[in-house]
Structure 1
Amino acid sequence: MKLGYHLGYWSAGPPPGALDTVKEVERLGFDSVWTAEAYGSDAFTPLAWWGSSTSRIRLGTDIVQMAARTPTATAMSALTLDHLSGGRFVLGIGASGPQVVEGWYGQPYPRPLARTREYVDILRQVFAREAPVTLDGDFFQLPHPGGAGLGKPLKPTVHPLRADLPIHLAAEGPKNVALAAEICDGWLPMFFSPKSDAFYRKALAEGFARPGARHTTLEDFEVPASIPVILRDDVEEAADLIRPSLALYIGGMGAKQANFHFDLFVRLGYEETAHRVQELYLAGHKKDAVAAIPTSLVEDTALIGPAEKIKDELAAWEETVITSLLLRGDTSTLTAVAEILS
């Protein structure tokens, strides 16, 4: 597996020392660096700012939210970053969830897979620049059929550096994972576990087998996965650093009736735990929700503990569909982990 660095999205402000860390991971030979967005910092700007101090490492978004921008606006940012980086950009997109899409962006959420298909269609047209971009879809119409009635099909003025600029899709459910395999160049999993490998291989195979699929096997398809790696002698101490994030996503990152992260952990075999964590979190008992996360759940979705333990467990990850391990942490942590994993 290749190594990447995942900066994520900001909390109250920009992460301290981010530029120095980006420079260091490039020096260490990392393959890629990735940013994200939720409802605070955006993904494109930090990637351009910190990426401008690099020369080799690939620059990816994991992820930009589709509801945040029209497909052509996303394509414009992708074209621009690809030119500025000399062809190092990877566009990672995702549908997010109904709470964010409808609450933050004011966009309707239903039928996200159909919307994604149209979104990617438009991106491909822009990147190809073979003809003016048009689509008469259920969600996107180019040109707009109403308004002033003066809409005109257009091509981007910028000539793409790469017509095949890679598009990766974030997905958790089997239908969306299959869609990633069918129409994209990579899949961006969240909370991946080696125990789920067979489940996801089946979903990817379904997408590869569809008529007109962009890829037909895993041979030339990427699966970069953001995996927490915490190097500590004390396993429980390491798990405690991850439990709050797991409680947030299982319990509060989505409505009770529509939380895709919750569903993922149910499939992983933690149904009782997921219900308990969600119940506590939504009731405002966040500390209790954190405490309800068992160490086994953390270990299923992360690499934690002493160096030898991490080395031993890494073998199971190397047998999965994952092609890149995206690490988080400061410079010293990443340097130590890279040495363990090399």
Structure 2
Amino acid sequence: MAKLSLGLNLGYWGSLCPGENHTTMAQEAERLGYDSVWVAESWGNDCFTPLAWIGAQTSTIRLGTAIAQLSARTPAACAMATLSIDALSGGRFSLGLGVSGPQVVEGWYGQPYSKPVTRTREYVDIVRKILAREEPVTSDGEFYPLPYKGPGSWGMGKPLKPITHPIRKDVPIFIGAEGPKNVTQTAEIADGWLPLYYSPYRQDVYADQLTGAKPGFEICPTVLVNINDDMEQALYPVKAMLGFYIGGMGSAKRNFHKELMARMGFPDEADEVQRLFMEGKRDEAIAAVPDQFADDISLCGPKGRVKERLVDWENSPVTTMLVNGDVNFLREMAELAL
């Protein structure tokens, strides 16, 4: 079994630009032997620009988007950004994609959130065609027809292939997927998977969905690590994150994170967390997150316990554990895992 790698997940920005802090962290991660650094986007910063900035100031660490939202740009625009960063970084780029959720897609991007699984397949297919640069790209798909011939068309669209020759035709594509159909499709069409929650103790939740994965398929979950002798304090940041995502990152009708928590064995607790959060009782919602669930998807507790439980992750299908923290934390994780 291949040794577990570490990746640095810088996430998306808060209210302020992190400035050189993220660059410094990426440089230290590279020095320590981390495999990759990832940047996210929500409805603030984009994910490609920070990676280009970081890539210009590093030399070996892989650069990934976790995740680039499909609705933020067309497949052609995404492929253009991909071939640009991959060329500038000397072939270090990995494209992480995801559909996001209806609140963001319809509220921020002004697009319908329909058939996300079908849309993802069509998107990936076009990106791969563009990077392959074998012929002018056409698509008769439902969402991204090329050339476009719909309402408002001038009827003058011409199939094109990129002027710039990509330095790699096989840039790795990862997909952030939660639902069973999306995870199954990810194993079929992508080079890797970026799960939001993963547990080495509940591998059965995903096992059937990953049977179609090809050799070398990467699984790279983001894992919250909190080394603290007090287990209650160690788990609190994990429970706070879960309370927000399960309670508020979605609607009462559909919340993909809540549905995943239910599939992982905690359906009643998921309902309660959402109910409390939507009633404005955020502290109670956080407290209602089961310690067991928070513990299963994270690495928390005294250093010795974290080191012991790290073995369970190493023995799982996970290939890279994505973590986040300050420079001292990065060094401590490298000592434990690398």
Letter in 1 for 2:291: T
Letter in 1 for 2:27: K
Structure 1 residues 168-177 or 72-81, which shifts more? 168-177
Report matched runs for 1:223-234 at 5 Å.
223-234=219-230
Query: Which secondary structure state, in structure 2, belongs to the residue aligned with residue 91 of structure 1?
Result: strand
| Aligned: 1:14 with 2:17 | yes
The match for 2:157 is 151
Report matched runs for 1:212-227 at 5 Å.
215=214, 219-227=215-223
The match for 1:281 is 277
Letter in 2 for 1:181: A
| Aligned: 1:3 with 2:9 | no
1:199 CA displacement: 2.7
1:238 CA displacement: 1.3
- The one of 98, 103, 119 equivalent to 2:102 is 98
| Aligned: 1:182 with 2:188 | yes
CA RMSD of aligned residues (A): 1.2
**Contact kept? 1:60, 1:91, Cα under 8 Å:** yes
**Contact kept? 2:205, 2:263, Cα under 8 Å:** no
The match for 1:240 is 236
- The one of 259, 266, 270 equivalent to 2:262 is 266
| Aligned: 1:298 with 2:285 | no
**Contact kept? 2:7, 2:321, Cα under 8 Å:** yes
> 1:51-79 deviations in whole A, cap 9, x for unaligned?
21100000001100001110000000000
CA distance in 1: counterparts of 2:238 and 2:311, whole angstroms: 21
1:242 CA displacement: 2.1
Q: TM-score, normalised by structure 1?
A: 0.94
Structure 1 residues 30-39 or 10-19, which shifts more? 10-19
The match for 1:26 is 30
| Aligned: 1:196 with 2:202 | yes
CA distance in 2: counterparts of 1:14 and 1:242, whole angstroms: 24
- The one of 57, 69, 79 equivalent to 1:65 is 69
1:280 CA displacement: 1.1
1:246 CA displacement: 0.9
CA distance in 1: counterparts of 2:51 and 2:242, whole angstroms: 25
Letter in 1 for 2:226: I
CA distance in 2: counterparts of 1:154 and 1:13, whole angstroms: 39
Report matched runs for 1:127-138 at 5 Å.
127-138=131-142
Letter in 2 for 1:85: S
CA distance in 1: counterparts of 2:172 and 2:287, whole angstroms: 40
Q: TM-score, normalised by structure 2?
A: 0.96
Query: Which secondary structure state, in structure 1, belongs to the residue aligned with residue 171 of structure 2?
Result: coil
> 1:118-176 deviations in whole A, cap 9, x for unaligned?
10110011000011110011111101114111111111111011011111111112211
Structure 1 residues 64-73 or 268-277, which shifts more? 268-277
Letter in 2 for 1:179: Q
The match for 2:52 is 48
**Contact kept? 1:303, 1:310, Cα under 8 Å:** yes
CA distance in 2: counterparts of 1:338 and 1:272, whole angstroms: 37
CA distance in 2: counterparts of 1:196 and 1:142, whole angstroms: 42
Query: Which secondary structure state, in structure 2, belongs to the residue aligned with residue 3 of structure 1?
Result: strand
> 1:95-120 deviations in whole A, cap 9, x for unaligned?
11111111111111121111111101
Mark the CA change 1:339 to 1:11 in structure 2 (over 3 Å): closer, same or farther: same
Letter in 2 for 1:337: M
CA distance in 2: counterparts of 1:9 and 1:224, whole angstroms: 17
1:294 CA displacement: 2.6
CA distance in 2: counterparts of 1:139 and 1:81, whole angstroms: 26
Letter in 1 for 2:197: F
> 1:203-241 deviations in whole A, cap 9, x for unaligned?
010x34xxxxxx3xxx31111111111111111111112
The match for 1:84 is 88
**Contact kept? 2:205, 2:264, Cα under 8 Å:** no
Query: Which secondary structure state, in structure 1, belongs to the residue aligned with residue 221 of structure 2?
Result: strand
**Contact kept? 1:229, 1:303, Cα under 8 Å:** yes
Unaligned runs of 5+ in 1: 209-214
Name segments (4+ residues, structure 1) moved above 4 Å: none
Structure 1 residues 13-22 or 85-94, which shifts more? 13-22
Query: Which secondary structure state, in structure 2, belongs to the residue aligned with residue 175 of structure 1?
Result: helix
CA distance in 1: counterparts of 2:239 and 2:10, whole angstroms: 19
1:198 CA displacement: 2.4
The match for 1:340 is 336
1:292 CA displacement: 1.6
Unaligned runs of 5+ in 2: none
CA distance in 1: counterparts of 2:78 and 2:287, whole angstroms: 40
Structure 1 residues 164-173 or 314-323, which shifts more? 314-323
The match for 2:321 is 325
1:334 CA displacement: 1.3
1:276 CA displacement: 1.0
